[in-house]
Amino acid sequence: MATTTKRSIPLLKHLLRQTQTQTRPVTYMPRPGDGSPRTVTLIPGDGIGPLVTGAVEQVLDALHAPIIFEKFDVHGDMKTIPSEVLDSIKRNKVCLKGGLNTPMGGGVSSLNVQLRKELDLYASLVNCFNLPGLPTRHENVDIVVIRENTEGEYAGLEHEVVPGVVESLKVITKFCSERIAKYAFEYAYLNNRKTVTAVHKANIMKLADGLFLESCREIASKYPSIKYNEIIVDNCCMQLVSKPEQFDVMVTPNLYGNLVANTAAGIAGGTGVMPGGNVGADHAVFEQGASAGNVGKQKIVDRKTANPVALLLSSAMMLRHLQFPSFADRLENSVKRVILEGKYRTKDLGGTSTTQEVVDAVISNLD
Amino acid sequence: MALHIAKRLMRNRTTNEFIRNPTLGLYSSSDRTYSSSSSGLIPVTLFPGDGIGPEIAESVKQVFTAAEVPIEWEEHFVGTEVDPRTQSFVTWESLESVRRNKVGLKGPMATPIGKGHRSLNLTLRKELNLYANVRPCYSLPGYKTRYDDVNLVTIRENTEGEYSGLEHQVVRGVVESLKIITRQASLRVAEYAFYYAKAHGRDRVSAIHKANIMQKTDGLFLKCCREVAEKYPEIKYEEVVIDNCCMMLVKNPALFDVLVMPNLYGDIISDLCAGLIGGLGLTPSLNIGEGGIALAEAVHGSAPDIAGKNLANPTALLLSAVSMLHHLNLNEKGDKIQEAVLKTIAEGKYRTGDLGGSSTTTEFTKAIIDHL
């Protein structure tokens, strides 16, 4: 008697779950031939990169997703991205990558930034939201940070005027500001978002951020159904830590976007769980959302306790981008279920599991 | 909560011997031979400011009198017309007063909209050469926010960096803005940061930067910080990239102690930290200038909608005045007043509207005086 009840409880749970997900209101109608496998470039990267990309490979394999990965070895201390990698991305149009370590202050420009500039991936998107079952200090967080990715403070134009005085140029152009504003409003329109907030510091940097705001206002007038407002970056950070539910879609220039995205990721659960990607007119590169901690510490690499959730959710975004929505839904549901259950969580979420344990849990939860 | 306050007091007590060292008279105003008035009171310039400024300044004066702090206030008001010598509404006499007294307390000032004059805060900063903005952020026991274990100090370089104001339009649709970092300014603020850490018994200083992207500018800032760090081997020094810092601050603010950073990052991080403890209405702030000038100020706005209605919260100005007292080495008085303020807020019986209570400014002030 005892053994049958022990076995029947997980069976009952499974059946309950099935009845919950059986009501699927949408039928995705593909074009003939859409099911043929797509090649995607894969860059494992440094630090925890290979661990988490390995996790993605395993899960996509278990899903039998029509994805073929072309793996390339790129490390942060290389001078430039090898041309074969760039050719592969230009051919496949989609790439999934782990973090690339940027050596500090050493004259080597960041490979992450180089990749974005080469492929003109001008929009960086990070989706920060509360995952059900994951306790955080803030509730009702659902923020999408859209950040201009090519110019601004990251133009890399620095020089020493005289010894002891260094100048760095921050460049803002109407062209780039317009296209990022257009992307932000288009995103809001396509995803049924109600408000777009522009983050700036135009009270101090009147011309530079003023130009950014002008472009945003122009584009806002073309989308009258979407509310538009502006907020100064220091007030924005203060509001993020006290009342994050007021924010919806945020569009920012390069540097502020970095700070705001990482702050928003921190309040919603940490950088280990937020998906994100970079997109341009022709290419898309998906990676862990927040830039902090995407290479991780040596301790995490040694103990194999990196959190694969962020990259798994980013690969779900990638699957939707490639127009495989059903696979994306299944992957996301499984990941969310694992987080909700709470048994398999890595250290940054307060648990003790290793990466492999989380991956196994996700695979076993796939329906 | 009592443990919290006790820890802070222990830290401040151990630093008195250090401050009596005469070579460090550069920062502390312990050598006051130049401004001793016959009654032994220390003259301090007071700018009540606009809006709720006069009310909260009055509150501070009452608390200080009740606590018998040996200070005499020299009040200066912002003028109604532009003074050509300073090109703003702050008169030359006011500036001379601060330069003479070396210490000041400033309430919120609203710059009138218009052209032909500089913003008031900018005038003070440029004329007095205020190079460091210090904001001690600590969770107020009894005022619950989502973060209860915040105890850090942000020190922000206040003169250069991204806020140099040097922008120009290259061609139509292309704008350039210059970010300037100099060795001199970075060394200055790093020196003050380490001095502050030692003087207040703090054991770690973290430099916040983005040197992986802005290699030369933030690289120079980091170089200067490292140089100064070598002179203080007992203080731990670390460097944190700003995106990591933001993320760690919102996840676990107890990880940080003293933060030193260039202008833009400092602006954002110090406001973020103010948000962690309950907003600008509760955050003290102290500006340090060349020659040991210290100007404490309340960083919130002048709140014209509640001006004159006796509803304003004087906490920010009071805590700023306390940090000014610490700068003047009147540590005992400073601690007494700080304890009284914290106890009043912790009790919860007398709280002004912004903290969720319904007391008036005068009731709140009276409660603080009773707790002294």
- pLDDT at site A152: 82
- pLDDT at site A20: 55
CB interface of B with A, residues 265-284, below 8 Å = 267-272, 274-276, 279-280
- Residue B222: its chain A contacts at CB < 8 A? 105
Name the residue range of residue A288's domain. 36-128+271-366
Stated pTM of the model: 0.86
CB contact under 8 A, B275 and A102: no
Co-location of A264 and A142 in the same domain: yes
Co-location of A223 and A278 in the same domain: no
Relative orientation angle of helices B263-277 and A254-268, to the nearest 10 degrees: 30
- Highest mean pLDDT pick, A343-357, B75-89, B103-117: A343-357
B115 and chain A: CB distance < 8 Å anywhere? no
Closest partner residue to B181 (CB to CB) among A166, A201, A206 is A166
- pLDDT at site A12: 63
Q: Flag whether A27 is in a domain.
A: no
d(CA B357, CA B152): 27
Which of A218, A241, A268 is the last residue in one of the domains? A268
- pLDDT at site B272: 93
Q: Flag whether A300 is in a domain.
A: yes
CATH number of the domain to which A177 belongs: 3.40.718.10
Distance of alpha carbon A364 from its chain centroid, rounded?
Answer: 24
Q: Flag whether A60 is in a domain.
A: yes
d(CA B331, CA B364): 23
Classify burial at A30, counting beta carbons within 10 Å of its beta carbon; exposed 0-12, middle 13-18, buried 19 or more. exposed
Percentage of chain B modeled with pLDDT above 70: 87
Q: Are A94 and A38 in contact (CB under 8 A)?
A: yes
- Domains of chain A: total: 2
- pLDDT at site A4: 56
pLDDT in tens, B218-273: 999 999 999 999 999 999 999 999 988 998 999 899 999 999 999 989 999 999 99
Residue in A closest to B279 by C-alpha? A238
CB contact under 8 A, B222 and A105: yes
Q: Flag whether A304 is in a domain.
A: yes
Residue in A closest to B174 by C-alpha? A173
Co-location of A55 and A113 in the same domain: yes
Co-location of A341 and A308 in the same domain: yes
Give ipTM to 2 decimals: 0.85
d(CA A52, CA B280): 41
Domains of chain B plus CATH, in order, are 39-111+119-132+281-371 (3.40.718.10), 146-277 (3.40.718.10)
| Terminal Cα distance for chain A, rounded | 29
Q: Flag whether A14 is in a domain.
A: no
Average pLDDT in chain B? 84
- d(CA A10, nearest CA chain B) in Å: 35
- Residue A291: its chain B contacts at CB < 8 A? 243
pLDDT in tens, B130-167: 999 999 998 988 788 889 889 999 999 988 887 777 88
Residue A102 DSSP one-character state: P
- pLDDT at site A82: 92
- pLDDT at site B296: 93
Closest partner residue to A170 (CB to CB) among B176, B215, B276 is B176
CA of B211: how far to CAs of A110, A165, A168, A253, B257, in Å?
10, 16, 12, 18, 21
| Single-letter amino acid, residue A241 | V
Average pLDDT over residues B318-341: 90
CA of B143: how far to CAs of A71, A150, B65, B96, B347, in Å?
53, 43, 26, 39, 9
- pLDDT at site A358: 93
Q: Flag whether A4 is in a domain.
A: no
Q: What are the residues whose beta carbons fall under 8 Å from the beta carbon of B288, sequence distance 6 or more?
A: B27, B130, B131, B132, B133, B134, B192, B294
- pLDDT at site A188: 96
pLDDT in tens, B161-208: 877 778 899 999 999 999 999 999 999 999 999 999 999 899 999 999
- pLDDT at site B3: 57
Co-location of A279 and A329 in the same domain: yes
- pLDDT at site B37: 44
A167 and chain B: CB distance < 8 Å anywhere? yes
Residue A66 DSSP one-character state: S
- Looking only at the bridges linking them, the beta strands covering A227-232 and B151-157 are unpaired
Segments of chain A scoring below 70 in pLDDT? 1-26, 104-109, 293
Indicate the SS3 state at residue A229: strand
- pLDDT at site B245: 92
Residue B92 — very low, low, confident or very high, per pLDDT cuts 50/70/90?
Answer: confident
Co-location of A152 and A232 in the same domain: yes
Indicate the SS3 state at residue B270: helix
d(CA B278, CA A91): 51
Co-location of A148 and A121 in the same domain: no
Percentage of chain B modeled with pLDDT above 90: 38
Co-location of A123 and A183 in the same domain: no
Co-location of A263 and A144 in the same domain: yes
For chain B, what is the largest distance between any 2 Cα atoms, rounded to a whole number of angstroms?
64
Co-location of A201 and A143 in the same domain: yes
Co-location of A102 and A158 in the same domain: no
